[in-house]
Structure 1
Amino acid sequence: MNKYFFIFPVILIIIVKDVFSQIRRNRPEDKTKCPRVRAIRNFDLQQLLGKWYVIEYYASSEEALSYRCMRAEFTMSSFENVNMDFTYSFVDDPINELLMGNISWIIPNPEEPAHWVHSEDTYEGVYNTYILDSDYISWGLLLHCAEKSKVPRYLSSFIMSRDPTLGKNVISYLREKLPRYDIDLSYMFDMQQTECNSTSIDLPPSLFINRPAVATRRHPMKHIHQEEP
């Protein structure tokens, strides 16, 4: 029997698979849905707990960095509940007021402790958080995605460090993991972690008068979905 009788079907199968793969890659992505995420395997949540500095920050709704001095502390209130207390300042705040926020999640599947779902009613839609990678002692990578029916999803991401700085090679390693989740690295901004104490004394009164009210500004972990016209 001619040996090419067996070779041609194999080649044909390879070509067909490649065509279908190309079709899937070129198919428009559903921007209302969170990307399919593979969270870190063999994840030890207990080791992630504690204090972190946010070294780089991304949010799909922002084309400039609004925040500085962002820091987070993770705790667990029960076997299924994860809490994060965080502090931050606005870049354009002349008095550099240190603000505080909180967000809490539940772990929907105990076998996947690196995937959390937001548990508070003040956040619209489904708010997923994934731990993409961490060595626990030095660095961590988080992806947040909020989705609500018929409106664009909201993506954000943190590169975190146990110290105020992180090596460039580690940052590059973590950044390379993000484009597959539709994150544009050109909008992944450095988070300043110096001069983070409030400086509200000895400033002209006009600075306080013209300062935007904090209550009118969104904190870094909250996104209000805007309905499309």
Structure 2
Amino acid sequence: MDQLLAYIPLLLRGALVTVSLAVLALILATCLGALAAAGRITGGRIARAIVTTYTTLVRGVPDLVLILLIYFGGQRAINDLGAMLGWEYVALSKYWSGVLSIGFLYGAYLAETFRGAYRTIPRGQIEGAYALGMRPVPTLLRVSLPQFIRFALPGYANVWQVLVKSTAVVSVIGLEDLVGLANDAGKSVREPFIFFSFVLVMYLVITYVSTTFFEAMERRYALKGRHP
């Protein structure tokens, strides 16, 4: 236990890297998911075909494979292109490769979450708002958006919980996140069980805090749904 205490500051720094990576990946996934959902709902035939291909292919790829493909494959592709154009060697960031791969992966899941939430909004309410003389923007902000958030929150929270746990695989490309630092520290003092037990506890804490936050958000929007 004394060995673990000596590494606590280092592991907490790794936990901060993990959380920040997860948050940035969620932001990217949210943007991609929103664009993909919009393309699926309001886009033409080509847009729907592109979105369908994206969501179908990406959801069938393991996160580990995608991370390795983007980091190592992307590193090779960029430098092969750079050699043709006379560029100097470019080193891809492990951190941003993790953000890109996880965000790209879970954007496909959020696309279906957002599409389902939008389809759940009763069409009659939007038509009623227009009949009362409301403009499109006020209708979106006061009628559609609160209900959209209410219906999307459970699926969104579930994607976030899974996304957070997926950050653990980023350590395979050498990122000094919580798992990577715990693995190195555990090997150095020959106490992997203690260090990975600490990792388990940290992920449980992140999960608990996240669950508490999303449950509060769901209660808030559920009340708005009953008392507009």
Same fold (TM over 0.5): no
Higher relative CO (Cα under 8 Å, sequence separation at least 6) belongs to: 2
- Choose between structure 1 and 2: higher helix proportion: 2
* TM-score, normalization by structure 2: 0.20
Report the TM-score when normalising by structure 1. Answer: 0.20
